[in-house]
Each structure stands twice: as structure tokens, then as C-alpha cells.
Structure 1
Amino acid sequence: MGNSLEVAVTKGDVSDSYKHNGTTTESGDGKTFVLATFEAKNSAESSQSLPEGTTASIQADNKQYDVAEPAAKQWQQFVSSSVKSGGSASTTVAFEVPKETVSSLGVAVQLTYTDSGAKQIIQWNME
């Protein structure tokens, strides 16, 4: 990202449930959760945070799946949190997708943000 903050998807998993804030949410019928762990590393000399409005989504079968409702608050906290100089922060969020989607090729996680007025997209392909 343009502000010395590097973001990467460090882990991807599939599960029928998502644990968050001491509770567990089960996926709906015919659906499953794709769990993606994002890590932000700060190489700048001062604290940094992701650009306001940064979004994450899953791209598969020419469709987009946004962060699942139970994970939305956690994602917003990750985006707005300040990462100290030389530090890192991570979070795992869930995307609820049809079960057949995860067995298809071409599943990708996308991070979308605005840098100096221009829309930027970072994409990681999931294997």
C-alpha cells in the first residue's frame, strides 16, 4: 500500500462455522465460510493504518462475496486500527459463499482501497 503498510493474506481456510467474539456462527444451508487471515506490517517510522473505506471480498465464478455480517465489525476494527512503527496486526474474517464455489478454480481474495484518489486492488489467489 502507498503508506509503507504492507498487507497480505497469510492463511486461507474453509469451515462450516466462524468463531468470533466468544460466539460461533454456523454457515447457511448449501454455504460455507472462507476464512482469510490478513496481516498488516508497518515499515514506516510512525504509526499507520489502512486507508479509510478499505474493503475485502472473495471473487469466484465471476461473482463477488463481501465480508460476512458476523465478521463486519472485526474487519472495520482491523481497517481503523493503528499499526505501530515496525509492528504488525492481523485478523481473520469470514466470507460466506456457496459450497460449490470453494471447489472451483479461480477463487481469489481482493483488497480494495483508494490511494491518492485512485482505486487500487490487491489480489491473492487461493489454492
Structure 2
Amino acid sequence: MFSTTQSDRGENSWRSQLNEFVKANQQELAALAWGLFVQRGESDNNTLGIDLEPKPHFIYCARPAIEALNHKVDNQLQEILGILDAHNPKQEVLLIGIGNAQIKLVQFEPEPPPPVCFEQAATDVNTLLERLEQRMCEQLKC
């Protein structure tokens, strides 16, 4: 009844690869998210993102840019804005994945919580960024 096109398989592929990357690196992603949150301050309204093009790398997604995109797509991202509003960085990690001109919201609650993950990582934010971006380049073949 429903057929999967080559395009659909490509879209699902990057999404499933991103899911696997996140699953395999939850503790360090939580440490990174918390470290960046502390570094940038509580008033910062940027969301950590992963852009897969031209090669996987971390970015910041500014709240005004997400709101503008939501407006352009007839409020189809309204739920994402609600999730951003309710996000608690002390308990959960929230990432926006961007690939194939699409977005994917990734949210998880690590055990232990992000502040403890950062303490246990025993390294700085820049080292975490470099380490995770290197793993993304190895694991995400988009």
C-alpha cells in the first residue's frame, strides 16, 4: 500500500544513523550540552544542533530562526517550540538534527543527569566538541 522511494530511504537513513550516534554517545552528549549551557548562560536561547552537511558538525539553532522557520512552514513546528520552552537542561538533552533539508528533534534524559555527566567526563567543552565531531564523521555517513 505504501511504497518507500529512494529519497525516503535516504531520509530514514540519516535519521536512523543520528539515532544510533546519539544512543552510543549519550553520556558525552549530555556532558557537552551541560558544559555549553553553563558556558553560555541560562538566558541564552540557542539550541544545540547537529548539521550533517557538508560534514557532520555541531551548530547553534537560534530561537528566532526556529520561530521564523515555523512561520514559513505554516506553524508545522509549533510542537517543537513547545518542547524548547519546556526543556530542562539539568535533566535532559535536546538536539536538533538537520539533514536533507529536514529537521529531527532528539530529546533524551540521560542517567546520570547532564551536570553529573559533565563532571564525570573530566574534560573541557572544546575537547568534547572535537571528540564528538570526530565520531560523527566516522559514524554518520550521509
The alignment's TM-score, normalised by the length of structure 1, stands at 0.27
- Structure 1 or 2, whichever has the larger Rg, is 2
Between Structure 1 and Structure 2, which shows a larger proportion of strand residues? 1
After TM superposition, the score normalised by the length of structure 2 is: 0.25
